[in-house]
Amino acid sequence: MDSPLQITLRDVPRSPVLEEAIRERAMKLELFFADILNCRVSVRAADQARHRHGVLNVRVELHVPGQALVTFGENEDARAAVREAFDHAAQQLQEYAQRLRGDGGRHQSAA
């Protein structure tokens, strides 16, 4: 990654274990696409007005050349929410890389 990983915790106590899980998952994303410009991850407690007490929302925002990819994960277990958000991010990165290579599943017309 060209710039450092940014992790923001909102209404969630600081957790070195959670932050390390985020760092590990962010590093693994580079296996899908090496040219990630930056990665921002925010973890916050779900809106209590929606009666989802204890649920964490994880938002992953990746900037790649020409595009921003945003994914979310939500779970009562922080690591599960991180895993969900990063699994979606990996899928989006794979699809983005395929589009760049031109093998996104579109049929080529015969010339």
Domain boundaries, the chain: 6-101
Q: What are phi and psi of 103, to 5 degrees?
A: -115, 45
pLDDT digits 0-9 by tens, 37-77:
999 999 998 775 454 568 999 999 999 998 999 999 999 99
* Listed residue (37, 36, 38, 56) closest to 46, CA to CA: 56
Mean pLDDT across 94-111: 69
Q: What is the pLDDT of residue 27?
A: 92
* Listed residue (86, 91, 89) closest to 69, CA to CA: 89
Q: How are beta strands 56-64 and 38-45 bridged, if at all?
A: antiparallel
DSSP bridge partners of 10: 44
DSSP classification of residue 109: P
Q: What is the pLDDT of residue 110?
A: 43
Q: What is the pLDDT of residue 106?
A: 52
- Please report where in the chains the tokens 């274990």 appear, as a residue: 17
Is the domain 6-101 a CATH 3.10.250.10 member?
no
